[in-house]
Amino acid sequence: MHVAGRFVAEVLSEVGRLADVGVNLLDLERHVRGMIKRRGAESCYWDYAPSFGRGPFRNVICLSVNDAVLHGLPHDYTLRDGDVLSADLAVSVDGWVADSARTVVVGTAAEEDLRIIRATEEALEAAIEVARPGNRLGDISAAIGSVARDYGYPVNTEFGGHGIGRTMHEGPHVSNTGRAGRGLTLRPGLTLALEPWFARTTDRIVYDADGWTIRSADGSRTAHSEHTVAITEDAPLVLTRREAENPATRADSASRPSTKDA
């Protein structure tokens, strides 16, 4: 899974580098297809037909813009200055899967967009920190929810993290908010895709006519961060960590804001 994770990290780094004003989402999709083919990997999205989507999905990456946050279907859209782009990718290499997501700002970044991206990144790091043997699944959920509350963002519980291994979506479900000390006991060998995602002012979602793309119900902007994490005897092992994180989204994050700053 670490091999798959390194490749997923490489692809998402490349998507972040290429995402610029004037770039079409379909061009990003084609570029990622080429990377997957050259690596000899398999897309976990192609032909995927879960109960919550209008399958089969016929793309290899989810690209969601602005108020879209999950399962964005790549389409003929040219990125504009100030757009927020969330990219989510899961691939299989030699039968093992890794899944990760990142959100970037295209061109000129508004502070409120950097803020919500920063919140999802901090929530993800908080979740990873408690992903240790003997802790409970609820500790992960509570850690994510705590960051969301501190930033003043509502949390949707319909979609969250999940188990991962030979296939992309396995049990257990990992809610993005919950009660500490509850749920499954974490044990070495368990691998989870942890993925906090927030919308600025709502926890409700709506679907596009394509049957896949999920948006905030009130049109507010969104962000999504995800890593595949392995529970080990020692520290949690992040299998999809990118070599260089975007420093712009981590500026001013030394201290967490209070809800009055939201």
Known binding site: residues? 71, 88, 99, 162, 169, 195, 226
- Looking at 46-174, which runs of residues are DSSP E strands? 62-65, 68-70, 84-93, 96-105, 161-163, 170-174
User: Which positions make up the binding site for a divalent metal cation?
Assistant: 88, 99, 162, 195, 226
Region of residue 5 (left: phi > 0; alpha: psi -120 to 50; beta: else): alpha
φ/ψ of residue 92, rounded to 5:
-115, 135
Hey, which residues does 191 pair with through a beta bridge?
A: 230
Of residues 42, 18, 242, 223, the one with CA closest to residue 119: 223
To the nearest 10 degrees (0 to 180), the angle between helices 25-39 and 2-18 is 150
- Do the Cβ atoms of 239 and 12 come closer than 8 Å? no
For residues 148 and 155, what is the distance between their CA atoms, to the nearest angstrom? Answer: 7
User: Which positions make up the binding site for substrate?
Assistant: 71, 169
- Do the Cβ atoms of 66 and 83 come closer than 8 Å? yes
Q: CB count, 10 Å around CB of 69?
A: 29
